[in-house]
Amino acid sequence: MKYNDGPMKRKRSKSIEVIRRMEADARRYIWHPFTQMAEWEKGTPLIIERGEGIHLYDIHGKRYLDGVSSIWVNLHGHRKAAMDRAIKNQINKIAHSTLLGLTNIPAIRLAKKLVALAPPGLTKVFFSDNGSTAMEVALKIAFQYWHHRGRTQKTKFLSLVNAYHGDTIGSVSLGGIELFHGTYSPLLFPTHKVGAPYCYRCFLSKTYPECRLACADEVETVLSRHHQEIAAVVIEPMIQGAAGMLTWPPGYLKRIRDLCTRYRVLMIADEVFTGFGRTGTMFACEHEGVTPDLMAIAKGLTGGYLPLAATLAAGEIYDAFLGEYREFKTFFHGHSYTGNQLGCAAALANIEIFEKERVLERLKPKIETLARFLKPLKDHPNVGEVRQIGLIAAVELVKDRIKKVPFPLEERWGYRVAGEALKRGMILRPLGNVVPLLPPLSVTIPQLKKMVAILIESIRAVTTAD
């Protein structure tokens, strides 16, 4: 039975028989990420057929607001004409050729653009496929850099509790979310871990700003004792995404940079999620004028169109890999689709949209308006905290607001809120008891108002019904 039976239309374009077969095949053949399939298979799958602007349409023709930017990647909306056109133009030339010993025009142009956009001092671009691989590249570069510098004892990494840097073994080793990473502990290499700046649930039981960033003192304590063996400190600047959208107190990022410099360890910034305008600046490091030694980018790099990632490196790091062939200082790492022309063409179009449409400038009133719209939630008895940076917002649900007692995870409060939102026409993806809202940067203020209204209604529906 064929699924592609004619062009997509605004109304349902498929027969009930075709839809039922598609739903059955979805349950039978696909294994979904971060999804308990025993539960998923019992329900009716939501099958997306097309997108337009900040909306997604399922095979029944029903429209949904994309409240997660298609898992944090979409920036300018779906079917953005400039993006579509760039990819079509490129495919008329070539889709992909290897970057191993060869190069191509879009990759050259994109690398130059990224160096111009990045914090000053990042001068070389190593392409890969996704956020996890961009972080693996950064880890291996940092490790090998110190080897070339004769500091072969610097083999360890320092990262934060609650960290999430991807799902490959190296990036999972840096991770600190027990629910995600605990199962794989026998496969992982050991790392140093320090408490994260989670002000709402401070692990030191202190309050900002009186604390004077005591959480950063923990980083200094570890570095002062172990800097001789630590190759790099790894962080997501300004916010820990998958940990629950945990926003950082002002000054923490700058303090980490200063500590890395003082103790001569590299700083790796995971900007996979935070890059390309999500936090209100092109890169989150810009909030505190910080330049990392290595920076990983992905997700928004192509505006949500194609898989592409990059790791940007400081010139001093790149230079350590230069030498005679017989010295074998080469960085022995690569991916088949590294720097592919289609992905690079999409990324170039994405950056051009930022420039032509003044995306960052136009974000400011949206960010301020989002904060205003979210205010009613701050008094809700089951809302512990409302967090926001840029167009990233998150609501932490709690059983007891005064004592900050969380709901048991098995009660699925976040999922229940997402289910209510779906009934009202918006797609959300919770992080346990935290419900994030991440609209595409192209969202209009009326659309933003509607999204927040659905979020508020959904939280009230769930907490009132219980």
Q: Are residues 371 and 344 in the same domain?
A: no
356, 390, 407 — which closes off a domain?
356
Between CA 86 and CA 406 the distance in angstroms is: 47
pLDDT score recorded for residue 11: 52
pLDDT score recorded for residue 466: 59
- Range(s) of the domain holding residue 66: 46-76+359-465
Identify whether 106 is preceded by a cis peptide bond (ω within 30 of 0).
no
* 22 domain residue, yes or no: no
pLDDT score recorded for residue 14: 72
Tokens 């918006």, located at residue? 426
pLDDT score recorded for residue 465: 78
Write down the pTM of the prediction.
0.95
Q: Are residues 242 and 315 in the same domain?
A: yes
Q: Are residues 342 and 380 in the same domain?
A: no
3-state secondary structure of 112: helix
Q: Helices marked H in 375-412 — which ranges?
A: none
Q: Which residues of the chain have pLDDT under 50?
A: 1-10
* 8 domain residue, yes or no: no
pLDDT score recorded for residue 10: 47
pLDDT score recorded for residue 8: 39
Q: Are residues 339 and 442 in the same domain?
A: no
Q: Are residues 93 and 148 in the same domain?
A: yes
pLDDT score recorded for residue 376: 96
The residues, any chain, with a CB within 8 Å of residue 67's CB and separated by 6 or more, are: 421, 426, 427, 428, 437, 438, 439, 451, 454, 455
Q: Are residues 318 and 380 in the same domain?
A: no
* 350 domain residue, yes or no: yes
Domain of 450, CATH number, reads: 3.90.1150.10
Q: How many domains does the chain have?
A: 2
For CA atoms 318, 324, 326, 327, the dihedral sign is negative
Q: Are residues 181 and 144 in the same domain?
A: yes
- What are the tens digits of pLDDT across the range 304-326? 999 999 999 999 999 999 999 99
Stated as kind and residue range, the H or E segment containing 348 is helix 341-356
* 40 domain residue, yes or no: no
Q: Are residues 351 and 212 in the same domain?
A: yes
pLDDT score recorded for residue 80: 98
292, 326, 356 — which closes off a domain?
356
Rg (CA), the chain: 23
Q: Are residues 62 and 97 in the same domain?
A: no
* 160 domain residue, yes or no: yes
Residues 86-125 as b/e (b if ≥16 CB within 10 A, e otherwise) read bbeebeeeeeeeebeeeebebbeebbebbeebbbeebbbb
pLDDT score recorded for residue 1: 37
Q: Please state, for a pLDDT cut of 70, what percent of the chain lies above it.
A: 97
Q: Are residues 343 and 460 in the same domain?
A: no
* 391 domain residue, yes or no: yes
Q: Are residues 315 and 182 in the same domain?
A: yes
The residues, any chain, with a CB within 8 Å of residue 385's CB and separated by 6 or more, are: 200, 395, 396
* 132 domain residue, yes or no: yes
Domain of 305, CATH number, reads: 3.40.640.10
Q: Are residues 247 and 331 in the same domain?
A: yes
Between CA 264 and CA 228 the distance in angstroms is: 9
- What are the tens digits of pLDDT across the range 256-286? 999 999 999 999 999 999 999 999 999 999 9
Between CA 463 and CA 436 the distance in angstroms is: 17
